[in-house]
Chain A
Amino acid sequence: MISFSDGHTLNSLHAGMIARLSGELFTVRDKSMQRFVADIAQNGVAPLDLKGSLVFFAAPTPGFINGTASIGPTTSWRLGSFVPQLLELGALGFVGKGYFPEGVPEHIKRKHGVYFQALGGAGAYYGTRISEPEPLLYEELGPEAIFRIEVKDFPVIVSIDARGAIFT
C-alpha cells in the first residue's frame, strides 16, 4: 500500500509538488530489467506480480547487508524502454530521476500511471528511510537484484500525476 503525507492520496497529488511517500517499492535497474523481460519472453509469465505497485529505478549500496546502505534514484532515461511493458503488467508508476525518452510519458498518461522524481544523490538520507531490502529476484546480481523495500516519509517531486499533468 502506498500513502502520502498531509492527507494526500494518489489522485490529489498534482504535478510539480513535493510529496512524501510511504509504502512498498520494488527496486530495478538495467541488468535486472533485462533479466526480467527475458524471463517473460521465455516463460510467457512475469516472475513477479507488479499489479498496483511502484517501481523504483535504484539499487542500494552493498551496505544493505550491515545496515549502512545508501539508496537513491538512477536516471530514468535508461529504463524508459521497459516502461510500457511494466505498465502492461499493472505497475502503478515509477520513481526515478530526470526525464524519460520521448513517447514514454504518453504511455504513462494513457495508463493513468504516475511518475515521481526522487532527489538525485541523497543516498544517505533515503538510506535511513527504507526497511531492510528483501531480495525477491536475481539475488546473484548483488545490489542490482530486484528488492522489495518499505519506504517511509520519502520526499519525491510529482512529475506525472494521475490526471496526466506533466511537470518537467
Chain B
Amino acid sequence: MECPLFLGYPIYLVMIMFEFFSSPLILRALLALVISSIMTAVIGTFTVLRGLSTMGAAIAHASLAGAVLGVIIGIEPVLGAFLLSIVFALATAYVGEEGGGRMDILLGVSFGFSTSIAILFISMLSAYTVAAWSFLIGDVLGVTEGELAILFAFTVASICLVIVFYKEFKFITFDEEGAEAMGLRVRFIHYFMILLIAIATVVALRVVGSILTVVMLVAPAAAAYEFSHSLERMIILSVLIAVISSLSGFFISIRANVATSAVIGVITSITFLLSLILSTKRRKCACRLVSPVRLVKEKQTAFKKHVPRCSQATLEKKT
C-alpha cells in the first residue's frame, strides 16, 4: 500500500530529523553547545555584574594561546588552554590589586598581551594552522568524545563550586566593601571567581572560539539583567537565552552552511540589543516604587503605631 501524499512530507521530515540526530557528530556538537552555554551563562552573570567583561576577553585569548601551545608541545589543547588561562587570569587579578593602577588600563594591556602571545604561538605552528583556526573561531562539529568529557567535567565541577560559594559571590558582587568589613575573605572569593571565568572561557573556546567567547560570556547575562530583579532569575534567564541562542544558531548555520560560532554570536548579540529596547527593568524603575495596596497597609500600620489608642466610644464622643 502506498503512503498518501499528504503524509509523505512529514514522514520524510521525521526521517531526516532522525538521521540528523542519530549522527554522533551532531549529538556531540549539541551536547557541547548546551554544556558551554550553561557554563558561560552562569559564570557570565557574575562576570557582568562585577564588571569583568574585558578580563573575560583577555582570558579568552590567553586560553587560545594555551591551546595552541598545547598543540606545539603535544599535550591535549584543552588542558593547555586551561593551564595558561588560569595562570594569566590570576596574574592579571594579582597585578590589578597589588599594582594599584587603573583597572581599565591594566585590562586593555593584558588583552593585548594575551592576544600577542596567541598570535606568537600560532606563527610558530607550521603544519597545524587548521587546529589554530578552530580555536580562533570555534569548531563545534569537531569536538571529540574526549574533549566533550573534559568540558562536561569542567562544567559540572564549576557549577558545584558556584553552588558552594553562591551566598559569598552574591555578597561580594553586591557590596564588596561591606562583605570585607563583616568578615568575608573577599580577596580569596574574588580570585576564585576569576578562576571560574578562566574555566568558562576554556569550555567555550572549542565551541565558539576565542574571538566569540566573550560574547557568550557577556551577552546572555547582560540581556537577562534587563529582565531580572533577583540574581537567581538572572542566572536562569541567562542560561535559557544562551542555550536557545546557541542551539538556534547551530541549526541555522547547518541549514545555511556557514560558520556556527558566527551565527551564535550574531543571535546572542541581537538578543542583547533587543533586551535593551524591551527592558522592563528600566521602564519600571522610574514609575513603580510601591504597590498601592502595600502603601495603604503601611499607612494603617503607621497610624496604629503612632496615634494613641482610643476606644470606639471615645471616638464617637469626639465626633
Q: Do A and B bind each other?
A: no
| Residues of A that sit less than 8 Å from B by CB | none
> Which residues does B use to contact A, with CB under 8 Å?
none
